Amino acid sequence: MDINSDMGEIPRLLDDGTYTRLMDYVTSINVACGGHAGNEAMMGEMIRLAKEKGVKVGAHPSYPDRKNFGRIDMDMDFDELTDSIRDQIQLLNNIAQDQKVSISHVKPHGAVYNRAAKDKTVAQALGEAVTQVDPSLKVMGLAGSIMLDVFDQMGLEIMAEAFADRTYEADGSLRNRKYDDALITKPEKAAKQTEMMVSGKIIAVDGSEVAINAQTLCIHSDTPNAVVIAQAVNKVIS
């Protein structure tokens, strides 16, 4: 089971060593490509650290909305969204190639990820962007969602994703971050959820059991206690 983490978004987490310590417990990282956060210097540093730690590097593109950290839905036409996502992935790919690193995957960020989980057209735009850069790249998407079906039909290799540090609704969607219980910040709770995910299920916020089949688990680097959560999750997986 792959363990991934979104990185390169917040300079403080580089400066205080959070990103570096997280890479001891994850197997792949998703690097912000400038749409919602990040810049070329940060991308380069994330790639350098990942290379040093032996961690896979992926692109983490988003709506082009730094003001709202890519967490507000945007209505963009198909070509506009495709071009934006493609350019973000290509930028990271170019920086990686300069360091002789091959990016392995793409994971959309925030609102565009959540939209694609329910909207085939948005998912198709994301898939088209990936295809234009490199159709051999794997694409991460919400386990059980429409987006994975779309990517699969487009001939892309998919990785179904579940979240160790997020709570779920009964329909398998992520609980909106506006709710206080959307984040899991206690390592023991994240570890318990990971154990359930490995066995193919989760317990939603309403207490119902939801089947889940994932190949990668995410821990957000900006979640409080992210490093100890990653350590706990890694212990369960290994």
Q: Classify burial at 41, counting beta carbons within 10 Å of its beta carbon; exposed 0-12, middle 13-18, buried 19 or more.
A: exposed
> Please, what are the domains in the chain?
2-163+215-223 (3.20.20.370)
> Mean pLDDT per 10-residue run, the chain (238 residues)?
97 98 98 98 98 98 98 97 98 98 98 97 98 98 97 98 97 93 97 97 96 97 97 96
At residue 238, the pLDDT reads: 87
Tell me the CA distances in angstroms from 170 to 116, 157, 159, one per residue in order: 18, 27, 22
Question: Looking at residue 72, what is its pLDDT?
Answer: 96
Cα separation, 39 vs 19, in Å, equals 16
104-157 pLDDT tens trace:
999 999 999 999 999 999 999 999 999 999 999 999 999 999 999 999 999 999
